Amino acid sequence: MGEELKRVVAYKLLSADRDTVIDGLMEMVFAVGDVTWVSERLCEQADSANTEVSSLAITCFGHLARLHQQVGDTSRIFQLLRDKHRSPVPDIRGAAEDAMDDISVFMGIDLRKKKSTGYSGSSKEPINVRSL
């Protein structure tokens, strides 16, 4: 079921229809347990030209933090969120702020500061705070 679900979601994410992509994002983040795979797809969608799709993809990093206490490649994701936090688009900035807040709450990592609990800044491996 897992690989089939990934194929279905990947197909939805390729759609030109905004609502189909949004449905795929929601289905993916809540039903696919492969955090690395989900995170990669979220990174792709975070750069969507459609602000609704992009902001939802960014918000979904917060959902990953809440559901799994990890977000994938921490270096990449944290830099993406910091970059999006400086976006001129208010919805993108707000989504990044929300995701950063969720990561702070559920992973103990404050992305607004270099110092944090559980993140050295150099790991490309997912961090699972339950094992710390």
52-108 pLDDT, tens per residue?
Answer: 999 999 999 999 999 999 999 999 999 999 999 999 999 999 999 999 999 999 999
Query: How large is the C-alpha radius of gyration of the chain?
Result: 14
Residue 45 Cα distances to 20, 35, 59, 128, angstroms: 13, 15, 11, 24
Question: What is the structure's pLDDT at 114?
Answer: 55
Question: What is the structure's pLDDT at 129?
Answer: 46
The model carries a pTM of 0.84
Place of tokens 């949004």: 22
Of the chain, the percentage scoring pLDDT greater than 70 comes to 85
Would you state the CATH architecture of domain 2-111?
Alpha Horseshoe (1.25)
Mean pLDDT score across all residues of the chain: 89
Nearest to 105 by CA among 75, 71, 72, 79: 71
Nearest to 39 by CA among 73, 2, 79, 83: 73
Looking at per-residue pLDDT, the higher value among 71 and 124 belongs to 71
